[in-house]
Structure 1
Amino acid sequence: MAFHFPQKVLFKHCDPAGIVFYPRYFEMLNDCVEAFFDEVLGLPFETLHATGGVPTAEITTRFLAPSRHGDHLTIALTVTRVGQSSLGLMFTADCGDETRFTARSTLVLLGENGRPRPWPEGVRQILLDREEAPAHVP
């Protein structure tokens, strides 16, 4: 069950040619993750980051088509793996019927000491309930 995050491509996302400058996609992905943690897990970053965090340990991305200023993207976030303190995610960003980019990432839950810590049981159960087998993406 994917979480869908709408993202309009704004001027700040674009290079002088009017297309998204690729690092801005990573900011969009982080915005999607932050919304997921808040809306689905009930764990807003402002609360989570008071006692740790969830940095990205790994990310791979495939850019399939450019996005332009004014495009309306939908970023779908899917939970693909729930570890003791890690989380595998898959993202697909579409504009209408066209996929613009895909990504896979691993997040790690850290405690105040900067070391991995287990997911809180309630959060872990929500993640497990949403976990899906990884799909092949272009």
Structure 2
Amino acid sequence: MSYERRFDITFGLCDAAGIVFYPRYFEMTNLMVEQFFAEVLDYPYSRIHLEEGNAVPTVHIEADFRAPSRLGETVTWTLDLTRIGTSSADFALQLTKDGDTRLAVRLTLVWVGRDGRPEAWPARLRERMAAHCLKGQDQ
């Protein structure tokens, strides 16, 4: 089940040519994942990081930049959870404008405990993730 959000391209995201400065895409990608955790999984980053002392760092990311996004445009981000492992999860994100793909991103997050080492996803969170995963869970 895809998670989708519309997003306005503002001045602060753009370079002097009026197109999105590529590092800003990574900030938007992280924002999409963070919003997915909060809005869909009901497990916000504030709980993970501040209340529980855990973390979910991105350990791998791939991006295919296909076309620029410009100041003043409204684009659509789509996020899919594609795999859940014991302590990691894979996501696919796509940025589109009027059906045309501008950016495709694949990333992996890892659940990291207070000691800084990977741990299994908490059972309740894993359950919620499984309900939204396209391909299912690793055993």
- What is the TM-score normalised by the length of structure 1? 0.93
Question: What is the number of residues matched between the two proteins?
Answer: 134
> Helix, strand or coil: the match of 1:39?
helix
Give the equivalent residue in structure 2 for 1:76.
Answer: 78
Aligned residue for 2:16?
Answer: 16
Are the aligned partners of 1:10 and 1:70 in contact in 2 as well (CA < 8 Å)?
A: yes
Aligned with 1:119 (options 104, 118, 121)? 121
Q: Residues 72-122 of structure 1, C-alpha deviation per residue, up to 9 Å, x if partnerless?
A: 111111011101110100001111121110010000011111111111112
* Residue of structure 2 equivalent to 1:89: 91
8 Å CA contact 1:7–1:28 kept in 2: the answer is no
Runs of 4+ in 1 over 2 A off after TM superposition: none
- Per the alignment, residue 133 of structure 2 pairs with 131
Paired residue for 1:49? 49
Alpha-carbon distance between aligned partners in 1 of 2:9 and 2:80, rounded to the nearest angstrom = 21
Residue in structure 2 matched with residue 4 of structure 1 by the alignment: 4
SS state at 1:32 partner: helix
The residue that corresponds to 2:39 in the other structure is 39
- Aligned-partner Cα distance in 2 for 1:84–1:73: 33
Counterpart amino acid of residue 69 in structure 1: L
CA RMSD of aligned residues (A): 1.2
Distance 1:125 1:75 in 2: 24
Separation in 1, partners of 2:58, 2:8: 23
Question: Identity rate of aligned residues, in percent?
Answer: 42
TM-score, normalised to structure 2's length? 0.92
Matches within 5 A, 1:92-107: 92-107=94-109
